[in-house]
């Protein structure tokens, strides 16, 4: 399973990359706003800075919601760096834009996906990634992980090349369960990635090993 980090914060991206397990980055307009990035040129420069840290797969989201402006924005974003994946919302014009950009050889990530039907449309349009939001479904008492399971099954049935990118991951068990189900990618905050390191038996075991070593070596 690929690990993406879901942030626009450069320090967090560097920290995850330095761990050696990072395969990409996802951003969205809210995450960009959180970093105070505004204005077209600053936004592009920020995406470039992200691309300079990681090896591949930097999702940059369009703001437009109509086909013509979406594809224009998508083409502009794709010019920033070959690592860019254009993130497009799951709306009618978005599906058309995914189809168009895919035909131009531009990779896309279909975002704001909350149903299996939407995921089928994204795959049929040729999206490189589909992003079902687990946490936001859980928030409204739907089972986000079941949706991932359903989409993985459907894509397997038909051999769709679209990769299932589990998004809106809130904790480590979401991530582990996505891996069990067979999601291709999990995007999550830095805290979720680093929390995977933690186990009390690792801490107590290491403490004991070092204490035993020092007993005979001091
Ligand atoms: O980037 C899309 C998604 O991961 C957002 O997560 O936590 O805002 O629901 P969240």
Q: Give pLDDT tens digits for 160-175.
A: 999 999 999 999 999 9
Query: 135 CB under 6 A from ligand 1?
Result: yes
**All structural domains of the chain with their residue ranges:** 2-216
Q: What is the CA(167)–ligand 1 centre distance, in A?
A: 6
Dist CA 22 CA 33 (whole Å): 23
Cβ of 108 less than 6 Å from ligand 1: no
Q: Is 87 a catalytic residue?
A: yes
What's the 133 CA to ligand 1 centre distance in angstroms? 7
The pLDDT, as a whole number, for residue 218 is 87
Mean pLDDT across the chain, nearest whole number?
A: 98
Residue segments in the chain with a per-residue pLDDT below the cut of 50: none
Bridge-partner residues for 165, per DSSP?
A: 185
Q: Is the CB of 26 under 6 A from ligand 1?
A: yes
Spatial CA neighbour of 54 closest among 105, 7, 86 = 7
**β-strand pairing of 2-6 with 24-26:** parallel
pLDDT score at 187 = 98
Ligand 1 centroid – CA 206 distance (Å): 35
4-28 confidence digits (pLDDT tens): 999 999 999 999 999 999 999 999 9
- The pTM for the full model equals 0.96
Which residue is listed with tokens 């299996």? 116
Q: Report whether residue 61 contacts ligand 1, using a CB cutoff of 6 Å.
A: no
Residue 114 CB–ligand 1 contact under 6 Å? no
Report how far ligand 1's centroid is from the alpha carbon of 211 (Å).
43
The alpha carbon of 159 and the centre of ligand 1 are apart by a number of angstroms equal to 27
- Protein residue with its CA nearest to atom 10 in ligand 1: 168
Of ligand 1's listed atoms, the one at least distance from the Cα of 136 is: 9
* Non-local CB neighbours of 118 within 8 Å, separated by 6+ positions: 90, 110
Other CB atoms within 10 Å distance of the CB of residue 143: 12
Please give the Cα distance from 194 to 47 (Å, whole number). 23
E-only strand ranges, the chain: 2-6, 24-26, 58-61, 84-89, 108-113, 129-132, 163-166, 185-188
How far, in Å, CA of 216 to CA of 2, rounded? 43
Is the CB of 59 inside a 6 Å radius of any atom of ligand 1? no
Q: Taking the C-alpha atoms of 144, 174, 7 and 78 in order, what is their torsion angle to the nearest 10 degrees?
A: -60
Quick check: helix, strand or coil at residue 105? coil
Which residue out of 2, 79, 87, 99 is catalytically annotated?
87
2-216: which CATH architecture? Alpha-Beta Barrel (3.20)
CB 67 within 8 A of CB 56: no
């Amino acid at each position: 399973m690929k690990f993406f980090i879901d942030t626009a914060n450069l320090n967090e991206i560097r920290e995850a990359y330095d761990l050696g397990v990072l395969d990409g980055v996802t951003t969205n307009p809210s995450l960009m706003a959180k970093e105070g990035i505004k204005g077209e040129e600053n936004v592009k420069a920020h995406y470039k800075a992200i691309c300079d840290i990681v090896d591949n797969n930097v999702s940059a989201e369009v703001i437009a919601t109509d086909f013509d402006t979406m594809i224009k924005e998508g083409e502009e974003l794709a010019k920033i760096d070959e690592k860019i994946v254009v993130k497009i919302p799951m709306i009618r014009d978005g599906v058309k834009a995914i189809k168009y950009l895919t035909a131009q050889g531009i990779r896309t990530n279909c975002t704001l996906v909350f149903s299996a039907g939407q995921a089928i449309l994204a795959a049929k349009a040729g999206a490189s990634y589909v992003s079902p939001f687990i946490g936001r479904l859980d928030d409204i008492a739907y089972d986000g992980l079941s949706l991932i399971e359903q989409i993985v099954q459907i894509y397997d049935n038909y051999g769709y090349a679209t990769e299932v990118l589990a998004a809106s991951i809130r904790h480590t068990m979401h991530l582990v369960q996505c891996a069990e189900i067979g999601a291709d990618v999990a995007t999550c905050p830095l805290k979720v990635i680093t929390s995977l390191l933690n186990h009390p038996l690792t801490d107590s075991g290491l403490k004991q090993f070092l204490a035993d070593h020092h007993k005979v070596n001091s």
